[in-house]
């Protein structure tokens, strides 16, 4: 129970600081970058459930994020679905796609899961980019998935109309609220029976099955649970940037998000969030370096994997232990 109380405390402190930020630092750049941080943090927190808690090396999370973003955009563009309905629908579609990917990975282990999921993401990317046939000619030639240019003009959640000059602050708070819900759900999952099943299957699948845990069922649960908010984050990304293009599949974004999880601490509750914050700041610092940015990211990742495999979160535990041994 003590650790649950600690989680609630950390969560509330972070939330209070985040609520106060736009008042303390009202600059537009800081606020829009923080909104982007919220979006990546949602993805990273959900990805951690698959990668860290369940030990399944799925690289499909960005493809799921893209699924959510594209589903939102296409629902709005082709069927004129209002965005407030399109985003949750996109979440459900992402769950379905996530479960399909989970099903495909059921018989694979370790690096093979990474290979298959990366291949799925790449195939999606290639299919979208190479499709040049006009699906509709309303407002110019437009392939089904928008091709290289992507999809735009699919609607908005209305905050731009409501707060014409301060809409980005409104989006900041929407992002924050989504992140708060996503983190709460991840904590409930990690601390509850689902997390118990995921961790048991990670530690020893055969033993877990002979203690009554169905691998088939809980692998689908893992992918379903982690897909929903990833899809919602994708939808929010779509309306925030007003355009969805194939850049969401980019390898550097994937690397960026994986680095957040690893540097923060794979499998821990707050590690991925911490890692996301640290990397967003580090990325700001490396912005001037343009192409060298990915190299810096890769180096940082390598150093952590070799020297601190438990990430910043593990560093914290190590500090506590060394302090305890000194006392």
Residues at the interface with other proteins (CB under 8 A) = 188, 192-194, 196-197, 199-200, 202-204, 206-214, 221
Least distance in angstroms from the C-beta of 55 to other proteins: 10
Of 160 and 191, nearer to other proteins (C-beta) is: 191
Residue 39 or 261: the one with the smaller Cβ distance to other proteins is 261
Indicate the residue among 136 and 184 with the shorter CB distance to other proteins.
Answer: 184
Least distance CB 3 / other proteins (angstroms): 11
Backbone angles phi, psi at 152, to 5 degrees: -130, -175
Q: Which distant-in-sequence residues (6+ apart) come within 8 Å of 105 by Cβ?
A: 56, 58, 113, 116, 117, 219
Q: Smallest distance, Å, CB 187 to other proteins?
A: 11
Q: Name which of 166 and 215 has its Cβ closer to other proteins.
A: 215
Minimum CB separation of residue 1 from other proteins in Å reads 11
Exposed (0-12), middle (13-18) or buried (19+): which is 243, by Cβ within 10 Å?
Answer: middle
Instruction: Tell me if 13 sits within 8 A of 274, measured CB to CB.
Output: no
Nearer to other proteins, 132 or 210 (CB): 210
Please state the closest distance from residue 189 (CB atom) to other proteins, in A.
Answer: 9
Task: Closer to other proteins by CB, 43 or 197: give it.
Answer: 197
Least distance to other proteins from the beta carbon of 321, Å? 13
């Amino acid at each position: 129970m003590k650790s649950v109380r600690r989680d609630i405390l950390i969560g509330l402190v972070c939330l209070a600081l985040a609520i106060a930020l736009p008042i303390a630092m009202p600059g537009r750049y800081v606020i829009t970058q923080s909104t982007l941080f919220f979006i990546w943090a949602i993805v990273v927190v959900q990805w951690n459930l698959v990668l860290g808690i369940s030990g399944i090396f799925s690289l499909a999370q960005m493809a799921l994020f893209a699924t959510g973003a594209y589903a939102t955009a296409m629902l709005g563009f082709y069927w004129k679905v209002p965005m407030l309905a399109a985003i949750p629908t996109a979440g459900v579609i992402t769950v379905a796609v996530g479960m399909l990917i989970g099903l495909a990975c059921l018989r694979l282990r370790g690096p093979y899961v990474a290979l298959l999921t990366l291949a799925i993401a790449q195939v999606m990317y290639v299919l979208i980019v190479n499709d040049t046939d006009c699906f509709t000619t309303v407002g110019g030639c437009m392939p089904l998935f928008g091709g290289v240019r992507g999809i735009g003009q699919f609607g908005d959640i209305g905050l731009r109309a409501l707060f014409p000059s301060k809409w980005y602050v409104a989006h900041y708070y929407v992002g924050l609220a989504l992140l708060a819900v996503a983190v709460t759900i991840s904590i409930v999952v990690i601390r509850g029976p689902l997390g118990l099943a995921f961790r048991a299957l990670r530690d020893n699948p055969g033993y877990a099955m002979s203690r009554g845990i169905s691998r088939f069922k809980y692998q689908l649960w893992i992918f379903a649970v982690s897909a929903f908010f990833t899809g919602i984050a994708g939808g929010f990304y779509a309306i925030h940037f007003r355009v969805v293009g194939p850049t969401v599949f980019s390898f550097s974004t994937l690397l960026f998000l994986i680095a957040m999880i690893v540097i923060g601490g794979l499998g821990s509750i707050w590690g991925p969030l911490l890692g996301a914050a640290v990397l967003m700041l580090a990325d700001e610092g490396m912005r001037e370096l343009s192409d060298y940015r990915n190299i810096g990211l890769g180096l940082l990742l390598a150093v952590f994997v070799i020297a601190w495999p438990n990430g910043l979160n593990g560093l914290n535990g190590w500090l506590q232990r060394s302090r305890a041994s000194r006392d």
